[in-house]
Amino acid sequence: MNTSPANTLPANFEIGIAELDTQHKRLHALLERLRDAVGKHYGYATNAILDELAIETRIHFAVEESLMRMLSFPAVETHVAEHLDLSRQLEKFRKRAQDFEVADELAAFIQQWLNDHVDRFDREFVDHFLRAGVNPTAASGQS
C-alpha cells in the first residue's frame, strides 16, 4: 500500500528558465507515474517507468552540466556531484524495485530529492545563466 504523502508539485518548483522547467516537470510527472505504479504493485509498469526516468534524468543532467560548463558557472563540480548522487540512488532503486514497500519509500525519497535539488542547487545557476545571455523563455516546444 502507498503510505507516502501526496506528491504535488511544490509552489516554488519553477526556476524561471523555461526549457529546464519543462524538463523538471517531465521528471516530476514520471515520478508521479512511478509512485502510482508502485502503489498498485504494477511490476511491468514500474520497470518501464524507471527505464524512462533513468533516460530522462541522464538527458536533463547532461543539459544542465553542459550549460554550466559552457557558461563557466563556478560551482559546477559541486552541482555535478549532486547529480551523480541522484543517479546512484536511482540505480539502487532499479535493483530493488520488485520489493514494493522498499520501492515506495525510494520513490518518495527521490521525489523529495528532486524538489530539494531544484530549489537549492538549480536555482543557484539561474542568475549566472541570465547574465550570460540565456533566453529564459526559449523552449524546445516538447512537453
Shortest CB 63 distance to Fe ion, Å: 8
Question: Which residue stretch of 45-53, 87-95, 121-129, 135-143 sits at the interface with Fe ion (rule: CB under 5 A)?
Answer: 121-129
- Using Cβ positions, the residue closest to Fe ion within the complex turns out to be 122
Residues 8-37 that bind Fe ion (CB under 5 A): none
Q: Please give the Cα distance from 88 to 81 (Å, whole number).
A: 11
Q: Please give the Cα distance from 21 to 29 (Å, whole number).
A: 12
Residue with cell 511544490: 10
Residues 43-72 that bind Fe ion (CB under 5 A): 64
Question: Which residue stretch of 43-51, 88-96, 101-109, 114-122 sits at the interface with Fe ion (rule: CB under 5 A)?
Answer: 114-122
Shortest CB 113 distance to Fe ion, Å: 11
Q: Which is nearer to Fe ion, 64 or 104 (CB)?
A: 64
Shortest CB 122 distance to Fe ion, Å: 4
- For residue 135, report the phi and psi dihedrals to the nearest 5 degrees: -80, 115
Binding test (CB under 5 A) with Fe ion, winner from 67, 68, 122, 125? 122
Question: Which residue stretch of 69-77, 102-110, 120-128, 132-140 sits at the interface with Fe ion (rule: CB under 5 A)?
Answer: 120-128
Q: What is the DSSP string of 13-53?
A: ---S-HHHHHHHHHHHHHHHHHHHHHHTT-HHHHHHHHHHH
Query: Closest Cα to residue 121, out of 80, 84, 90?
Result: 80
Q: State in Å, rounded, how far the first CA of the chain is from the last one.
A: 30
Query: Closest Cα to residue 113, out of 83, 136, 79?
Result: 83
Shortest CB 76 distance to Fe ion, Å: 10
Summarize as ranges the residues that interact with Fe ion (CB under 5 A). 64, 122
